[in-house]
Structure formats: C-alpha cells, structure tokens
Structure 1
C-alpha cells in the first residue's frame, strides 16, 4: 500500500475507462464493462485513494461510479464544463482521453469537489419511473401540437397515439404511487412536501426522486445543486445583474411550475412575490427569487420532518 494519497481521474467513454492517478502519474485503461470495472477496483486497491473524479457522461459513468462507491471510495461526478474550463485555465488545450483523465485528477486535488452520493437501487428505480413519465408527458404535448395541422388518416394515427400516451401516463402514475409508498422515508417526505400550497403529488415525487439531498444539506448547497442560487457579475465599477446557471434542470422545471401556483395560493410566497414586483423587479426575476425561497423552505421542512405552517413573520 502506497502511503501518499492519490487523486484519481477517470475519463469515461462508451468503450473505455481511462484512469490517471495523481501525483504518482500512473495510467491505466479498462473496458467500460463489468469485467473492466472489477479490474479497475482491483488495481486501485494497491493505492491509498483520496477521491475519484469523473465527469457526467450521459449515464455512461454510473456503473463504474456505483461500483466504486460500494467499495467505499469517495467519488465526485462533476459537470463536463467544470473539467473543460479547468483544463483551459491550466494551459491544457489539447484534448484526448488520457489528457482528460489527468485533468480530472488535477481538478480533484486542486478543487476538492464535494462528494457525490449516488442513489441506491430503489432510488434509481423511482428516478427512472419519474423520468419516463416526464418523457411521455413531453411526447403527449408534442403530439397534441401536431394534431391540429393533420387531417384524415394521419390525424387518426395521432389521436390513437394520444389515447395510448394518456393511458400509459395514468398507469405510470399508479406505479409511481405504489413505489413511493414502499419506503417509509419516501412516504414521510412526500407527505411533508405535499402539505405546502403549490406542491402537488407529481412535484413532490419528482423532488424525492431527483433531489435526494433535500433536507440533508445546507440551504446554500441545495440552491447550488438545483441551480437557483444567484451569482454576482461584478468587476471594478461594473455591477452586472446576478444570474443563475447550472444545476438540475429537471428539478428546476418542476419547482418553477410549483411556484407559478404558489405565488397565487401560498400566503408566504404570494406576499414575497408582491413585494418584489412592487420594488421594481421583473416578473421572471421575482419568480426565480420565489423558487429560491420555496426551495429553502422545503429544505428546512424535510430536514425537520415538519409539515407546512404559516410562520409568524412573512419576511
């Protein structure tokens, strides 16, 4: 066992896992299949591993990341933009799989990103069900848009597809409901979330599936994960408007839909939204601020296991 801690960068492709250890400089390549992942873990056992850094690669990284996490390794899955920006800042303009693996290891050592906790098998199943429902809803909306411009046989074909989609979505809703009730923790979280005016069953289930960190991390961290934390844009005398970027777009989308309802029916957010508009904020900016506030409220409620109640102060 080597005593010097190693930061591991893994560049993931459909076929291979290119691995780089820093500071030892060791390089390996394994196939991105179960057999190759087993070899990877066996090879890493000869080193003291500090952290393993991978980029999100459309799901290609998940099997390796899950196996590494199960073996007790601290992993971090970062946005590819972070890795690319770090490479440019480090003067690494060339791009190959081996170079990218080395950049990821360097990124881990220099930036020490937060550890990613992957969902367990049950959580993954719930995520897949919720994702599939969203895909079908998107297909339903697209087919409805096409329906108005079609005639005759093609219109009948679209109408038959619409009927099938509606039935399948209803079936998925029942399956998601059954699945979400199997776990006591999920039942409690969904009950807490649904108690908030503006948060319905679909939004609550999506938050449980796609944002398992809710109630487990700080308000600042949860806002960054979702991508509703505003970032300053200032330099010298320049004062730009603050912007949001990054984060989990799917969570942000359902949260936005919840806020549209909440600013009409939730006393706290309705008052907050009105004050922002009265202060000259644009509607979109005010809605994003309400999303931020709603997320912090939900985070505290799930953390404390408390259902909705109107606070004494509405600030």
Structure 2
C-alpha cells in the first residue's frame, strides 16, 4: 500500500526538538544538536513527508531547518503568533512542547503554508553582519546618551566603550563591504538601490541582506513581508483607522530612515508627503505611507533591473 503523506510539526527549544507526525499521531523527541538532528532526519526518511512546520524561535530552529532542507524536505518556518492563534481556534488552550508540536502539524495540514527557502551560507553571513552592526549602533547610541550625565571613572569607562564600539562598527563595515561585493547580483542590487535619493549604502545593504524577496514578489506581498501594508480594523458598525503590524522590524527600521531622508530630498516622496500633510494626515501616518510608496518603488526597480529614473517613476500611480 502507498504510504499516507505526513505533516510534521516540530516544537523547538534550546535543548530539544519535540516532533509530531499527522495524521499518524506518532510523537518523539530528539536533542537540538547535531546528533539529534541526524536522528530526526533518519526517522523522517522512513515516511512520506508532505511538509515540516517549525516556529521561528530566535534562531534556535535554523540548524534543524537547514539540515532538513538540505535533505530535500519541504519546510515552513511560521510566526509563533500564527501557531498560537490557530491553537486557540482549535480549542487547544493547554501549552506543552508535545501539544505545540501537534498543533504545528495540524496547522500545516489545514493551512498548507508557503515553503520557506532558507538563505545560503553567504547570505546568512551577510545577514548576521548587518544585524550585528545594527545592534552595535543601538549600543553606541545608548552609551552616548549616558555619557553627558557621568563623571570621573564612569565617564572614562563609557568613553572607552564608545571607542571600542566605533572600532567594531568600522570592522563590520569592512566585512559587510567585502561580503556584499562578493556576488555580482548583490553588487548590482546595491547599486540600483543607492541610485534612489534617500537610500544610502547601509540601507541598501540591509535591504539586500534581510529582504531577498525584493523584486521577486508583487507589491502586496513585499509590503506584507516588511509590515507596511495598511490593514483594516473594521467590525460591525465600528470603522477604525488602518494600522500596520508584523513583518520584519529590521527592514522596517531601515526603510523608516530612508523615508525620513527621502521626504526631504527625493522629489516624488517629497511632493507625496507634502500632499498628505495638506490633506490633514498626521506626520506619522504620512511618513508610513511614504515608506510604503518607497518600498513599492524599490521593488519595481529591482524587478526591472533599472536604476532611479525620475520621469519614469513620476508617471507611476500614487
């Protein structure tokens, strides 16, 4: 008899991987380390696997997900909120590792989420370097804010830390430059993005590293991925304002900085921002709309492989 296709849910923790197969109902646990992942793959290879569902768990899921993908398994890494909402809707109010694994398997079978394609080793290295640079810049800003209120040895300690952070950031800038220039496609994309008034090297590199879907999907999808698509909050007679939520916070932060510059120096975004303000829109709302418009422009440019061209872009819809 032909084997029945199985949906696999894996609940990830630092120490272990709790696994559930659906509809067989089989459950088992392995260690979240190389030897345990080998056992996981060997066990799953006995079955006809439709898809493996994992939650994004702060990177704890990546080793298992990468190994599964390399062995040919279709994987999907979903937002934990999706899984929790699905559990509540299914009446699964209790929460244990075994229950969570079963919920993920059920979610996969019912919702059939899109397959996640993990980044290559080079892409992961670039993403890690860009993320670490952002973290160090945040630390640098925090230390500068403390600096003025300190005296004596404490002030000297902060000064030394600031010097160390600045050195590390410069080293990361060199590393990011080397990584981003190592691939022709990345070089081309960064050059195209930097041609837009408001987009500098740091923002362009962040977009290339953290948003590889740019230029590969439609405007609606890319806006949802970043979290700048306005979402309805209407129910019954209530009509709420449109809001944005979810998405990739690091990309959204980079896009926000780009929009701040663009509304002053980019002629299209500048006029768009001014028009929204003249219509009575709050500055925050207008700036968010500019982020959305800027992202759509960047998506079209990467898709078409064309740098910034004011006449062409000016003819696009608002």
Query: What are the equivalent positions in structure 2 for 1:264-283 lying under 5 Å apart?
Result: 264-283=264-283
Which residue is equivalent to 1:227? Answer: 227
Which residue is equivalent to 1:300? Answer: 300
Deviation per CA, 1:222-268: give whole Å up to 9, x if none: 11111111111111221111111111101100100000000111111
Deviation per CA, 1:117-161: give whole Å up to 9, x if none: 111100011111111111111111111111111111111121121
Which residue is equivalent to 1:103? Answer: 103
TM-score (norm 1): 0.97
| Whole-Å separation in 1 of the counterparts to 2:225 and 2:6 | 27
- Where 2:233 maps in the other structure, the secondary structure is strand
Superposed CA RMSD in Å reads 1.2
Which residue is equivalent to 2:76? Answer: 76
Question: Could you tell me how far 1:2 is from its partner in structure 2?
Answer: 5.0
Query: What are the equivalent positions in structure 2 for 1:40-59 lying under 5 Å apart?
Result: 40-59=40-59
Deviation per CA, 1:84-128: give whole Å up to 9, x if none: 111011000111101000101111111111211111100011111
| Whole-Å separation in 1 of the counterparts to 2:108 and 2:274 | 44
Which residue is equivalent to 2:259? Answer: 259
Question: Could you tell me how far 1:300 is from its partner in structure 2?
Answer: 1.3
Deviation per CA, 1:265-291: give whole Å up to 9, x if none: 111111111121122211111111111
Unaligned runs of 5+ in 2: none
- Where 1:242 maps in the other structure, the secondary structure is coil
Which residue is equivalent to 1:243? Answer: 243
Query: What are the equivalent positions in structure 2 for 1:1-315 lying under 5 Å apart?
Result: 2-310=2-310, 311=312, 312-313=314-315, 315=318
- Where 2:10 maps in the other structure, the secondary structure is strand
Question: Could you tell me how far 1:40 is from its partner in structure 2?
Answer: 0.9
Count of equivalent residues: 315
| Whole-Å separation in 2 of the counterparts to 1:137 and 1:55 | 28
- Where 1:30 maps in the other structure, the secondary structure is strand
| Whole-Å separation in 1 of the counterparts to 2:50 and 2:279 | 49
Q: Is the 8 A contact 1:2 1:48 kept in 2?
A: no
| Whole-Å separation in 2 of the counterparts to 1:94 and 1:283 | 43
Q: Is the 8 A contact 1:14 1:60 kept in 2?
A: yes
| Whole-Å separation in 1 of the counterparts to 2:290 and 2:243 | 14
- Where 1:243 maps in the other structure, the secondary structure is coil
- Where 1:116 maps in the other structure, the secondary structure is coil
- Where 1:65 maps in the other structure, the secondary structure is helix
Question: Could you tell me how far 1:189 is from its partner in structure 2?
Answer: 0.7
| Whole-Å separation in 2 of the counterparts to 1:105 and 1:221 | 25
| Whole-Å separation in 1 of the counterparts to 2:95 and 2:237 | 37
